[in-house]
Amino acid sequence: MDRTELSSLGEFGLIKHLTEHITINQKSTVLGAGDDAAVISETGEQSLVTADMLMEGVHFDLAYVPLKHLGYKAAVVNFSDIYAMNGRPEQMVVSLGLSNRFSLEAVEELYAGILLAAEVYGVDLVGGDTVSSKAGLAISITVIGKAPEEKVVYRKGAKNKDLVVVSGDLGAAYLGLQILEREKAVFESTPGVQPDLEGYDYILQRQLKPEARKDVVELLSQLGVQPTAMMDISDGLASDMKHICDQSNLGVHLYEDKLPIDPTVVSAAEDFRLDPTMCALNGGEDYELLFTIAQSDYDKIKGNPHLTVIGHMEEGSAPLLIARDGSAHEIQAQGWDAFKTESEEES
């Protein structure tokens, strides 16, 4: 395949090339990419703003992450933060740091994933920047969302005896990463060996192409359920549950036998000699929604296949995991920490 050097377009030529076919879907977008700044109209609702930065070699490995998947995931994980506030994402700004090893065709592939996510979730790409990088690929995305003031949900609103609910299932993304890292190690030690990925479709998809739970936010609205606290599970259930506990000044009792874990996760965990419960608690990157609701709302969600009650908030208690045998163990947050050293991660 022909390779087009980025230097042949220049910065502004690259930006024009990547953005000239963007379509606008949101009524609040007055002007998108192409001027000094985008123009967004105020609608009387509260604005929600989130930003995320991904660095090659820290947050992703291009040895096994396709560029289109990377672009899609980079956008979706930011949308997830807006849904975690019970809002809806409307605009995003994308900035890229690119080294000279990336061709125009490679950048187009990355952008194709970003634009696909924008199309799927109805978000307008309204601007950004590109710069030269000497440290590999860097992706910075800012997303702007909206929500009525009375609908915004914070981490700090949980009340004593509120039920703790999670969407979907947990631990799959972490096991997907373990499989990809294993196959990379095999390939590096024996070049030419084909990766053994059979039977792992679900957990690989959860790692490479996660989805934000827009459907859950819409479902809760339809059911008439207003969460009292909410966040998305990016760093692991244990870490993120402790955020809600800390900001709500409460403890929690989570029940091991209630944690939703897919059978493929259990099987893969056994292959790696890992405890499925620990994968669910500390794996991260599930991007499911973790939220609390009043006990009076239980009947509204009871039996819903997308939602699982996994515990309750408890005043005057440390965050505890109640094991299957009934014993209680303080929850230790061992999920992702952006500034943890390798030695600390290994200890």
Report which of residues 233 and 345 the model is more confident about.
233
State mean pLDDT over 294-312.
Answer: 97
Minimal CA–CA distance to 25: which of 107, 113, 112, 89?
Answer: 89
Give me the pLDDT at residue 346, please. 45
Tokens linked to 64 = 């096994």
Beta bridge partners of 307: 167
Is the predicted pLDDT of residue 97 greater than 60, yes or no? yes
H-helix segments, the chain:
10-19, 67-83, 104-121, 172-189, 201-208, 214-223, 237-248, 263-271, 276-282, 298-301, 342-346
Is the predicted pLDDT of residue 176 greater than 90, yes or no? yes
Is the predicted pLDDT of residue 338 greater than 60, yes or no? no
CA distance to 70, 100, 319, 342, per residue, from 166 (Å): 25, 43, 16, 30
Distance, CA of 332 to CA of 320 (rounded, Å): 9
CB 233 within 8 A of CB 243: no
Q: How many residues does the chain have?
A: 347
CB 78 within 8 A of CB 89: yes
CB 173 within 8 A of CB 206: yes
Distance, CA of 47 to CA of 49 (rounded, Å): 7
Conformation bin of residue 316: beta by default, left when phi > 0, alpha when psi is -120 to 50: left
Domains identified in the chain and CATH numbers: 6-151 (3.30.1330.10), 155-346 (3.90.650.10)
Tokens linked to 323 = 């094991």
Q: Which residues contact 213 (CB under 8 A, 6 or more apart)?
A: 80, 83, 167, 168, 232, 287, 288, 289
Give residue 15's identity as a one-letter amino acid code: I
Beta bridge partners of 139: 54, 96
Is the predicted pLDDT of residue 36 greater than 60, yes or no? no
Phi first, then psi: what are they for 143, rounded to 5°? -120, 135
State mean pLDDT over 330-334.
Answer: 84
Give me the pLDDT at residue 234, please. 94
Q: Which residues contact 173 (CB under 8 A, 6 or more apart)?
A: 203, 206, 207, 210, 283, 284, 285, 286, 287
Under the banding of pLDDT at 50, 70 and 90, the label for residue 347 is very low
Is the predicted pLDDT of residue 168 greater than 80, yes or no? yes
State mean pLDDT over 266-295.
Answer: 96
Distance, CA of 131 to CA of 6 (rounded, Å): 11
Give me the pLDDT at residue 345, please. 45
Give me the pLDDT at residue 295, please. 98
Give me the pLDDT at residue 20, please. 66
CB atoms within 10 A of CB 311: 23
Q: Would you give the DSSP letter of residue 103? A: B
